[in-house]
Amino acid sequence: MNSPKPQNVRFLLLSQAITSSRLDGLLVTHLPGVRYLCGFTGSSGVLAVAGKQARLFTDGRYTQQAREEVAGAKVSIVKQAALTAAAEWLFKRADKIGFDDANLTVRQLQTLKKQLKACGARNSRLVAAEDIVARLRERKDSCEIEKIAAAVNLGSSLFPTALAAIRPGVAEVEVAGAIEYAARRAGAEGMSFDTIVASGHRSALPHGAASSSLISSRGFVVLDFGVILAGYCSDMTRTVSVGKASGAMRSMYKAVLEAQLAAIATVRAGVPAGQVDAAARGVLIKAKLGKYFTHSTGHGVGLEIHESPRIARGQQQPLEEGMVITIEPGVYIPGEGGVRIEDMVLVTATGCRVLTPTEKQLIEI
Ligand code: ZN
Ligand code: ZN
């Protein structure tokens, strides 16, 4: 049996979501959402959906590309702003129109409102509906899971390159450069975010982007990096020790690893996201390191590096089969150093599949 095209299924789910939000039209302005729904990867375009009709509005730079990429929607190449054209089309076809309030500027919204008045579409209304497409994107279909797994594998394959580059006296940016060059050579379209290489005291900065600091002869190095492959992001963190780790470093590493494993063991469809966070946090609190775990446990990953759901304290949202999330507890002691360990996992009915294949025992360089 032929499985239906992902775009068809996505539009079907979208039209159900639009209806259950009591809307009859949707303006998709966030490009990853546009890509998810109709396949268009250009940097300018707006997708309008009304009932069973969907139309992508873009400009002449993308005539050829849109023809090749777009599925499930008709394409209009327009001379005016894509948003204006999309709104004009939509105002004729829908009364209650959702827009992505997280991805529209104040000015764009004002323009839309003016346009609505000018159209004389008296019954039409604009309604903030940020999460319609974001919610759909939380659960990955098999096509996406395959792409994500390939990105994760490519990302993990760079870890030995990173290890080989780490030596006392080498600048963090050089290590980042080695990772990024190897990523490109292995076929990555780009990095999914600025590579983090944080050594020594800088390892206590949770987002210590690689700097010109030189790696010293002793201490932790936090490596957090990811690649984009076929549009999908990977994200992983490993922390290594330069020189022999002290007893204190070892126990810190052990606690973070235990926290990470405890969180992974909690992941299952139906479990509230906050419970996964609590599992990691509980281990670190017990180890008297709770106050040094200053961020949330994880986030969704897909076409964007940070997507919903958030795996954070108190989050009631239940995990669902097909969600791909990170599990990344960390401990950061100012003036000393930090440890973070991050894997990507796929939520299943009975638990999860850890996608990141890289080992997690403490490596001493
Ligand atoms: Zn990361
Ligand atoms: Zn992450």
CA of 47 relative to ligand 2 center, distance in Å: 29
Provide the 8-state DSSP code for 62: G
| Coarse DSSP helix, strand, coil percentages of the chain, rounded to the nearest 5 percent | 40, 25, 35
CA of 207 relative to ligand 2 center, distance in Å: 10
Q: What's phi and psi for 323, nearest 5 deg? A: -70, 140
CA of 6 relative to ligand 2 center, distance in Å: 26
CA of 21 relative to ligand 2 center, distance in Å: 30
Q: Give pLDDT, residue 116.
A: 87
- Burial class of residue 52 in the structure, from the number of CB atoms within 10 Å of its CB (0-12 exposed, 13-18 middle, 19+ buried): exposed
Q: Give pLDDT, residue 8.
A: 84
Q: Give pLDDT, residue 1.
A: 45
Residues of the chain with pLDDT under 70: 1-4, 121-122
Question: Quick one: what percent of the chain has pLDDT higher than 70?
Answer: 98
Neighbours of ion ligand 1 (CB under 5 A): 224, 235, 237, 342
CA nearest neighbour of 88 among 59, 61, 58, 121: 121
Dihedral angle of Cα 141, 142, 143, 149, to the nearest 10 degrees = 110
pLDDT tens-digit series, residues 9-65: 899 999 999 999 999 999 999 999 999 999 999 999 999 999 889 999 999 999 999
